[in-house]
Amino acid sequence: MTSRAASKAGAMHPDAMARDAVPQHAMPHGAILVVEDEAVLARNIQRYLQREGFEVRIAPTGQDGLQQFEEFGPDVVLLDLGLPDIGGLEVLARIRARDAMAKAIILTAHGSTQVAVDAMKAGACDYLSKPLALGELKLAVERAVGQERLEGALSYYRGRDARGSGLDQMLGEAPATLALKRGIARLLDAERHLSPGDLPPPVLIRGETGSGKDLVARALHFDGHRRAGPFIEVNCAAIPADRLEGELFGHERGASADARERRLGLVEAAHGGTLFLDEIGDLDLALQVKLLRLIEDRAVRRLGSTRDRRVDVRFVAATHRPLEAMVAAEQFRADLYYRLRVVTLDVPPLRERGDDVLLLARHFLALHGRRYGRPGLRLAAGAQALIRHHAWPGNVRELSNAIEQAVLSTEDQLVEADNLALAPAATRQPVASAGELLADGELTLTKAERLVISRAMEQAGGNVSRAARALGVSRDTLRYRLGKLGHPEAG
């Protein structure tokens, strides 16, 4: 054995082989490629990192390392500078040319400042001198894996920041609003008692468009124990189905004609935090299968990859669609529906929140007044009456837009009813009587259903929840039937 080989063979601290073996995790923390020509050292590193939960492969030469980098797609490369065929810095340059996001940690027995500077200039994310300390090696690898995930999160959008989030931002004192807040608070309190490593259950938020489902999702994150992690929000209806899979799961370089470099998906970007899937009812059936597997296995596989990566993600989904009815119609997978609705939170529509509408109107008036340099604006009595009696089919979003328009149109400090320019409420269809339905001598199932539902809605004053209770069906089912019948309260 040469002096160089002897030095490298002994380049692991004596406690490397003395530690008790730890079973390898079912799902690796990350994939590590060790490019090291000394077999003993490489095997020691491999065994240690495998015990720590990583998947590790060894390449004894620079050329082999480049080939395995292409095939294996590691998260981090541990790269020796003194390779027998190609210099370590040259290997690093070729790796970075193939994948600009690649993370490499340089290992060398020549611990000079200039070597470290050259390695960092070449794109290395860290530098370790031999002999290696196990704790230092583990920390460096974990930092590199975490840095990749952080960069992935920043390369997408991480949602809005914590300002304007949390239970204290959910304004209102109506019974329905207070009930929702209590439900969120109970859930967060229960989650504080989870053991380390236990993941909180998925949450399904239901409510009409514009009712504030996103505020509930943000409260679950920013008031919970994951507040320090990323909050990733994706609207499943806003991204074409052929792109959404790549956005969620990411891809390896070469997975498609457009995949010129490796890209982390939103799922991996949300590691340690919350993934908020808004408008989950619009998710393509094929993607529903993959989402179900992700939630159950807590693992993600990038497009073009053969390896699963473990993720620590809290799933929150929201929809305005009647998922229960969609399941019955085979438009939404039953197994995914029941997996998502471990905890269900219903956001009440604005028309069911009583005087909350005025409280919110004043809040938006102050907010938009500050934005446009119009502080001190007030609502006239006529404007308040109109706001109180409007149906608000667009809910809180419609109210905010109406107040913003009023701020821009009013010429003095008093906002009048004319400044609100509200859209006229939808006209309800007349309720047919049994005699009218039987006028042609035939009573069909559709006619009978329309009669029963119309009567229930009329008696409930247009309130879908009350009508559903009277009919003995769920609110989602009634909304689905209303939509099929073309009823204006279908939402």
Checking if the pLDDT of 186 tops 80, the result is yes
Helix (H, G, I), strand (E, B) or coil at 79: strand
Are 308 and 299 contacting, i.e. CB atoms less than 8 angstroms apart? yes
> Which pLDDT score, from 0 to 100, does residue 262 have?
65
Digit-coded pLDDT (tens) for 195-232:
877 889 999 999 999 999 999 999 999 998 888 888 98
Checking if the pLDDT of 112 tops 70, the result is no
Checking if the pLDDT of 5 tops 70, the result is no
More confident of the two residues 335 and 488: 335
> Which pLDDT score, from 0 to 100, does residue 457 have?
80
More confident of the two residues 276 and 126: 276
**Range of weakest confidence among 24-33, 141-150, 464-473:** 24-33
> Which pLDDT score, from 0 to 100, does residue 436 have?
52
Checking if the pLDDT of 443 tops 70, the result is no
Are 286 and 244 contacting, i.e. CB atoms less than 8 angstroms apart? no
Residues 413 and 340: their CA atoms lie apart, in Å, by 47
**Range of weakest confidence among 172-176, 258-262, 313-317:** 258-262
Task: Give residue 483's identity as a one-letter amino acid code.
Answer: G
Are 57 and 72 contacting, i.e. CB atoms less than 8 angstroms apart? yes
Q: Model-level pTM? A: 0.60
Are β-strands 378-379 and 231-235 bridged in parallel, bridged antiparallel, or unpaired? unpaired
Residues 191 and 198: their CA atoms lie apart, in Å, by 9
Q: Which of 105-114, 167-176, 259-268, 284-293 has the highest mean pLDDT?
A: 284-293
Digit-coded pLDDT (tens) for 19-52:
333 333 345 577 899 999 888 889 999 988 988 8
> Which pLDDT score, from 0 to 100, does residue 138 have?
85
Burial class (CB in 10 A: 0-12, 13-18, 19+), 122: middle
φ/ψ (deg, to 5) at 464:
-65, -40
Checking if the pLDDT of 152 tops 60, the result is no
Digit-coded pLDDT (tens) for 385-399:
999 989 898 899 999
> Which pLDDT score, from 0 to 100, does residue 220 have?
94
pLDDT-derived band of residue 441, with 50, 70 and 90 as boundaries? Answer: low
> Which pLDDT score, from 0 to 100, does residue 22 have?
36
Burial class (CB in 10 A: 0-12, 13-18, 19+), 422: middle
More confident of the two residues 127 and 47: 47
More confident of the two residues 454 and 262: 454
Chain-centroid distance of CA 429 in Å reads: 40
Sole residue written with tokens 């124990």: 225
Percentage of residues of the chain with pLDDT beyond 90? 34
> Which pLDDT score, from 0 to 100, does residue 2 have?
39
Q: Which of 139-148, 191-200, 253-262, 404-413 has the highest mean pLDDT?
A: 404-413
The arithmetic mean of pLDDT across residues 166-178, rounded, is: 87
More confident of the two residues 355 and 117: 355
Dihedral angle computed from the Cα positions of residues 411, 417, 421 and 422, in that order, rounded to the nearest 10 degrees = 150
> Which pLDDT score, from 0 to 100, does residue 272 have?
86
pLDDT-derived band of residue 480, with 50, 70 and 90 as boundaries? Answer: confident
Residues 322 and 180: their CA atoms lie apart, in Å, by 19
pLDDT-derived band of residue 110, with 50, 70 and 90 as boundaries? Answer: low
Q: Average per-residue pLDDT in the chain?
A: 80
> Which pLDDT score, from 0 to 100, does residue 383 have?
92
> Which pLDDT score, from 0 to 100, does residue 276 have?
95
Strands (E), 391-442: 414-415
> Which pLDDT score, from 0 to 100, does residue 218 have?
92
The arithmetic mean of pLDDT across residues 229-243, rounded, is: 86
Pull the structure tokens for residue 192: 């504080």
Pull the structure tokens for residue 231: 């909050």
φ/ψ (deg, to 5) at 315:
-100, 125
> Which pLDDT score, from 0 to 100, does residue 168 have?
78
**Range of weakest confidence among 156-170, 345-359, 405-419:** 156-170
> Which pLDDT score, from 0 to 100, does residue 12 have?
45
For the chain, the first-to-last Cα distance in angstroms comes to: 78
Chain-centroid distance of CA 261 in Å reads: 23
Percentage of residues of the chain with pLDDT beyond 70? 81
Residues 281 and 442: their CA atoms lie apart, in Å, by 37
Chain-centroid distance of CA 344 in Å reads: 17
More confident of the two residues 368 and 262: 368
Are 489 and 425 contacting, i.e. CB atoms less than 8 angstroms apart? no
